[in-house]
Amino acid sequence: MTSPALLADWFRPGASTTAHYVDNLFYVISVICVFFFVLIIAMMAWFMWKYRARPGHREEHTAHHNNALEITWSVIPLILAIWIFFQGFVGYVAMRNTPQDAYEIEVIAQKWSWSFVYPTGAISPELHVPKDQPVKLILSSRDVIHSLYIPAFRVKMDCVPGRYNEMWFEATTASDEVKDPTWDNDQNNPELKYTDGSATYDEAAATEGYDLFCTEYCGTSHSSMITKCIVHDEAGFQEWMKKAMDPRSQGTPVEVGKQLYNRRGCAQCHTIDGTDRPGPGGPSFKGHYGETVTFKDGSTGKMDDNYIRESILNPQAKIRQGYNPIMPTFQGQLNEDEIFALRQYIRSLNDEEVNDWAPKEGEEGEEAEGESEEASADGPATPQEESAGDAEDDDEAPATAEQPATTDEADNADPEETESDD
């Protein structure tokens, strides 16, 4: 069904295989609504004009009821309603019948970010999906109810804590093929892209993805749970996956840490300019490293690498005085490399010396090769190039920090590798 011009502008083009069920029914209901609205309002307006009180005009007695008429105008809407229900039912069945061969992605929602976990073990804050392949999302929540909504695909499903919900879609248009400026309006307004100054998705994704919203109210930063769904073609998806598997391929630890800070929801509560946000927020990443801080129970402790790590994995363990225990855990969502990167990023904000990635060869080199063929083929090569380049940028750091870093990293790197082996 081709859409009327006005409605097409109003109701943007769908980009999934089931979107047409929604769009077609939307147009059909619109036609019915407009028909009845015009009918009722035109008659009302006509009567209002024709039978207005004026000198010499009197009401006329008419029948007080007319069963035939009343049954007619009850039965016709009833038939239409049943027909609309049936159309909706047909579309719903299609939207709820997940194809057998669907690619499965786990969605973990939490205040106030998304984690998309792929079968390969990769985790991303935006949703990356292959084009022309059914994708099944298994939705869960870590805290309160969230709801995943991609308007372009006309799909929505709640993420309810304590249960798994399921939805599926098949994207028909790769993100970078989207020419309709209404879908990627962001690039015209780089200043306004992050509506409250905090970035929740990366630059590249922002210009080419479909909007992905949270639609079930979830507290302070509900409106910041905006991210993107990026639809890749087959080759692009593999390429992206390779990169996503290895954080080291994306830059220095500080760069990766900064990216994680922006993309994994840290920015919603923790500033990087030293201003603390008590109550709904959290302490700043800047200005507290190495400080002795007081916890809620009155005890004190040092804000060091151990405390940062504990706060990421088990945030409720030690709550700083004056703050609410609202931070979600990132256990299972950040791998050791990423935690390392975040630590280095926090250190860098506090003018501490930062460490580079620990070399993967040596004690881990063998393991890495045995792990997965794709990752080992490209994986070690890229980070080496990257770190080589970075070493030139901040050349004073590695020299002094290399030694402690290796021991530090070695402790943490082992569990990570065992994790990836699974």
Whether 367 contacts 414, CB under 8 Å: no
Answer for which of 1, 2, 5, 62 binds another protein (CB under 8 A) is: 62
**Closest CB 94 distance from another protein, rounded Å:** 8
Whether 286 contacts 274, CB under 8 Å: yes
**Closest CB 65 distance from another protein, rounded Å:** 5
The reply on whether position 55 binds another protein by CB under 8 A is no
Measured CA to CA in angstroms, residue 165 lies from 96, 97, 168, 213 at distances of 11, 13, 10, 17
Whether 115 contacts 128, CB under 8 Å: no
For another protein, the closer CB: 74 or 100: 74
Residues 6+ away with beta carbon under 8 Å from 300: 292, 293, 294
**Closest CB 324 distance from another protein, rounded Å:** 6
Q: Which of residues 69-88 bind another protein (CB under 8 A)?
A: 69-70, 73-74, 77-78, 81-82, 84-85, 87-88
The reply on whether position 92 binds another protein by CB under 8 A is yes
Query: Given the DSSP bridges, would you call strands 103-110 and 113-117 parallel, antiparallel or unpaired?
Result: antiparallel
Q: Which of residues 289-348 bind another protein (CB under 8 A)?
A: 324
**Closest CB 109 distance from another protein, rounded Å:** 13
The reply on whether position 179 binds another protein by CB under 8 A is no
The reply on whether position 412 binds another protein by CB under 8 A is no
Taking contact as CB under 8 A, which single stretch among the options 5-13, 289-297, 370-378, 395-403 is the one that binds another protein? Answer: 5-13
* 28: alpha, beta or left? (left if phi > 0; alpha if psi -120 to 50): alpha
Pseudo-torsion of CA 132, 199, 386, 209, nearest 10°? 20
The reply on whether position 40 binds another protein by CB under 8 A is yes
Answer for which of 15, 17, 22, 110 binds another protein (CB under 8 A) is: 22
Q: Record the tokens describing residue 214, joined without a space.
A: 């949270």
For another protein, the closer CB: 30 or 133: 30
Q: Which of residues 342-381 bind another protein (CB under 8 A)?
A: none
The reply on whether position 410 binds another protein by CB under 8 A is no
**HSE (CB half, 13 Å, CA atoms) of 74?**
6
Whether 200 contacts 125, CB under 8 Å: yes
Whether 412 contacts 339, CB under 8 Å: yes
Taking the CA atoms of 117, 105, 327 and 226 in sequence, report the sign of the dihedral they define.
positive
Answer for which of 4, 8, 31, 48 binds another protein (CB under 8 A) is: 48
The reply on whether position 271 binds another protein by CB under 8 A is yes
Answer for which of 200, 221, 355, 420 binds another protein (CB under 8 A) is: 221
Query: DSSP letter string over 180-226?
Result: -TTTTGGGG-GGGSSTTS---S-HHHHHHSEEEEE-S--STTGGG--
Taking contact as CB under 8 A, which single stretch among the options 210-218, 349-357, 366-374, 381-389 is the one that binds another protein? Answer: 210-218
User: For tokens 């990766």, what's the residue?
Assistant: 256
Answer for which of 2, 68, 197, 298 binds another protein (CB under 8 A) is: 197
Q: Which of residues 108-167 bind another protein (CB under 8 A)?
A: 143-145, 147, 149, 151-152, 154-158, 160-163, 165-166
For another protein, the closer CB: 37 or 415: 37
Query: Binding residues for another protein, how many (CB under 8 A)?
Result: 103
The reply on whether position 217 binds another protein by CB under 8 A is yes
The reply on whether position 180 binds another protein by CB under 8 A is no
| Overall size of the chain counted in residues | 422
